[in-house]
Amino acid sequence: MATSMQEASFRSSSMAEVKIESMSATSMSSMTSESMVAMSSSSRMEMSSHSHIEGSSLRTIKHSHQGSPAKIEALPEDICIEKGKVLTISCAFSGDPVPEIEWTRSGRTLPSAEDSGRFHVETAEDLTTLIITNVKEKDAGAYTLKLSNELGSDTATVNISIRSL
């Protein structure tokens, strides 16, 4: 009976370690495989999967995750800017896992940095920035930032007013 065992382990920049172990045989009467994902920092993510094959199949999956809900750290309530200028609104945020970011105005999602146009959103690890170039009077209004991850969501609104020269 030929048996081979493989193990792989790597560490990414987000301090995640993934370990995969498997065993296979050409004449297999039983097989066990196990995988684990562990993350450090203030969060802990663990996933394990066990399989046992011996005439029948049984699979158990365990998953636990500790982290923090999405939270907007600081966003101004009111901003006044002159027509024709570039408006930059930056907001620090937190959350683990890293939250999904959405900027909206009048119920419409504003484009991300890849899209062209006067409006775009840039997001780094813990900072999101809404940029409006060549501000026009029609850009005045309420802009809403919504953050969400599997542990919660948070929203905040900033009111933009435009000054004429």
Do 145 and 100 belong together in one domain? Answer: yes
Do 107 and 135 belong together in one domain? Answer: yes
Contact by Cβ (8 Å): 40, 15: yes
Among 66, 91, 116, the domain boundary falls at 66
In order, the DSSP letters of 5-34 are EEEEEEE-TT-EEEEEEEEEESS-S--EEE
Q: Domain count for the chain, please give it.
A: 2
Q: pLDDT per residue over 78-107, tens digit each? A: 999 999 999 999 999 999 999 999 999 999
Q: What is the pLDDT of residue 134?
A: 94
Task: Report the C-alpha gap between 139 and 117 in whole angstroms.
Answer: 13
Do 93 and 149 belong together in one domain? Answer: yes
The range of the structural domain enclosing residue 48 comes to 3-66
Contact by Cβ (8 Å): 81, 134: no
Do 76 and 56 belong together in one domain? Answer: no
**In residues, how long is the chain?**
165
pLDDT (tens, 9 = 90+) of the chain, 165 residues, equals 444 443 333 333 333 333 333 333 333 333 333 433 333 333 444 444 444 444 445 554 555 558 999 999 999 999 999 999 999 999 999 999 999 999 999 999 988 766 668 999 999 989 999 999 999 999 999 999 999 999 999 999 999 999 987
Phi, psi of 13 (to 5 degrees): -65, -20
Do 76 and 126 belong together in one domain? Answer: yes
Do 45 and 72 belong together in one domain? Answer: no
**Terminal-to-terminal C-alpha distance of the chain:** 85
Among 20, 39, 66, the domain boundary falls at 66
Do 78 and 158 belong together in one domain? Answer: yes
Among 29, 49, 66, the domain boundary falls at 66
CA angle 97, 99, 102 (to 5 degrees): 170
Q: What is the pLDDT of residue 156?
A: 97
Residue with tokens 């370690």: 17
For the record, the structure tokens of 98 come out as 């890293």
Do 8 and 31 belong together in one domain? Answer: yes
What sign results for the dihedral spanned by CA atoms 72, 73, 74, 77? positive
Do 10 and 59 belong together in one domain? Answer: yes
Q: What is the pLDDT of residue 164?
A: 80
Task: Report the C-alpha gap between 62 and 36 in whole angstroms.
Answer: 10
Q: What is the pLDDT of residue 165?
A: 72
Task: Report the C-alpha gap between 79 and 134 in whole angstroms.
Answer: 16
Looking up residue 159, the CATH number of its domain turns out to be 2.60.40.10
Task: Report the C-alpha gap between 141 and 93 in whole angstroms.
Answer: 22
Cis amide prior to 97 (ω within 30 degrees): yes
